[in-house]
Amino acid sequence: MQHRIVVLGAGYTGAIAAGRLAKRLRRQDVAITLVNAEPDFVERVRMHQLAVGQDLKPRPLREMFAGTGVEVRLAEVAAVDADRRTVAVTGAGGTTELGYDTLVYALGSGWNTQGVPGTAEHAYEIASRPGALRLRERLARLGAGQPVAVVGGGLTGLEAATEIAEARPDLDVALAVRGGLGDWLSPKGRAHLRKVVDRLGITVYEQADVTGVEADRVAIADGRVAPAAVTVWTTGFAVHPIAAATTLEVTGTGQIVVDATMRSVSHPDVYAVGDAAMATGPGGKPLRMSCASGTPAAWQAADAIAARLTGGKLPETPIRYFNQCISLGRRDGLIQFVTADDRAKESALTGRTAAVYKELVCKGAAWGVANPTLGMPTRHRPVTRPQAADARRR
């Protein structure tokens, strides 16, 4: 009997985990099913590019996984029953149940309105492809001089504001940030960011706690108002509610709590990776929602599953950060080097070199999905039936 591994979500982390499992384990011993709602792999890190009218390379999942032994199932995950080990999926043939022996939960996240009034009704998001396409269509209809407000001064907000301002110099782009502009960056990084924002003519509202979004403006707690024919909301990500509706141990925000091998602390046959997981990183800090930590977490999960099925050695490489790669339009960028626990170091790359570096990182991330053995530290023996059966009992 084959050991059934079901991977939910074919974003960066789910796709990497599925591909790596297929490389690690023998086809006759495992059946790997990768479930995803959309037929294509979505390069989420390029959603701001899609929103301003750039076209992204189509990456059909069935083509990417052809010949790998991974079965791609196009369906929407409706629910997980972690006690019965089943997943309810809705696809072309209606709703069916998929049984699993090992589950990898990688459904990622969406935008986070944080419950700010008017956001759900009036704001646009770039956390998903449909959201970015909706914004793209709206931006294309904006006439010269119309105001666009980007809310959120994190990496996504910086990338969105600069991309829009560069692609549409005729628009009046503003950026509302809760603290100071790029206040977590090194002095060099902050200075460069300020220079680029000034060059692109972006108005920055600092110390701006946005309390409401209306059809034509954004309201700030201290009484300031940013005019906005379009508001782009980028204040972090929120996970899908599916995990929180299970008996899995989750955080207050619905992320699945996992150990260092990305295994659920409550259900040993469930692993969670990427934005959907709460894993502890260097310095005891939670890993932030990013490809930067999600990719090694996916390697870790796949290697741990393979090791447990084959009696191999568990992976012990701690996940750490190296840099924060920020595009500032297509021709400029900022690579902020960071400590293992993600604090800015003195050094940073800026300008054209940083833009090229960031582009290579994005290309590399997509390449890593198609070539999941990248970074593979050790080889595990192929799974054997008795060991697989034993692993199921553990």
Ligand X SMILES: Cc1cc2nc3c(=O)[nH]c(=O)nc-3n(C[C@H](O)[C@H](O)[C@H](O)COP(=O)(O)OP(=O)(O)OC[C@H]3O[C@@H](n4cnc5c(N)ncnc54)[C@H](O)[C@@H]3O)c2cc1C
**Which chain residues interact with ligand X by CB under 6 A?**
9-14, 35-38, 42, 44-45, 47-48, 76-77, 106-108, 126-127, 155-156, 159, 240, 274-276, 289-292, 294, 325
Cα–Cα distances (Å) from 160 to 47, 49, 157, 167, in that order, read 9, 8, 5, 11
Buried b (16+ CB within 10 A) or exposed e, 263-302: bbeebebbbbbbbbbbbebbeeeebbbbbbbbbbbbbbbb
CB of 311 to ligand X, least distance (A): 28
Between 185 and 325, name the residue whose CB sits nearer to ligand X. Answer: 325
Between 90 and 266, name the residue whose CB sits nearer to ligand X. Answer: 90
107 CB-side CA count, 13 A: 24
CB of 128 to ligand X, least distance (A): 8
Sorted by sequence, the CB contacts under 8 Å of residue 332 that are 6+ apart come out as 162, 196, 350, 351, 352, 354, 355
Strands, sheet with 230-233, edge to edge from the N-terminal-most edge strand: 123-124, 230-233, 147-151, 172-176, 203-205
CB of 43 to ligand X, least distance (A): 8
Q: What's phi and psi for 40, nearest 5 deg? A: -110, 150
Cα–Cα distance between 105 and 258 in angstroms, integer?
Answer: 11
Between 229 and 338, name the residue whose CB sits nearer to ligand X. Answer: 338
Between 118 and 296, name the residue whose CB sits nearer to ligand X. Answer: 296
CB of 371 to ligand X, least distance (A): 16
CB of 239 to ligand X, least distance (A): 9
Between 153 and 312, name the residue whose CB sits nearer to ligand X. Answer: 153
For Cα atoms 40, 34, 20, give the angle at the middle one, nearest 5 degrees.
100
What's the token pair of residue 115?
């419950």
Between 26 and 59, name the residue whose CB sits nearer to ligand X. Answer: 59
Which residue has its beta carbon closest to ligand X?
11
Cα–Cα distance between 44 and 86 in angstroms, integer?
Answer: 28
What's the token pair of residue 258?
């996992």
Cα–Cα distance between 33 and 17 in angstroms, integer?
Answer: 11
Of 287, 285, 280, 276, nearest to 241 by C-alpha is 276
Between 19 and 294, name the residue whose CB sits nearer to ligand X. Answer: 294
Between 37 and 191, name the residue whose CB sits nearer to ligand X. Answer: 37
Of 149, 202, 210, 156, nearest to 179 by C-alpha is 210
Between 26 and 129, name the residue whose CB sits nearer to ligand X. Answer: 129
Provide the Cα torsion 135, 137, 143, 145; round to 10°: 20
Between 312 and 321, name the residue whose CB sits nearer to ligand X. Answer: 321
Q: Dihedral sign, CA of 142, 145, 150, 154?
A: positive
Of 167, 175, 97, nearest to 139 by C-alpha is 167
CB of 317 to ligand X, least distance (A): 18
Sorted by sequence, the CB contacts under 8 Å of residue 360 that are 6+ apart come out as none
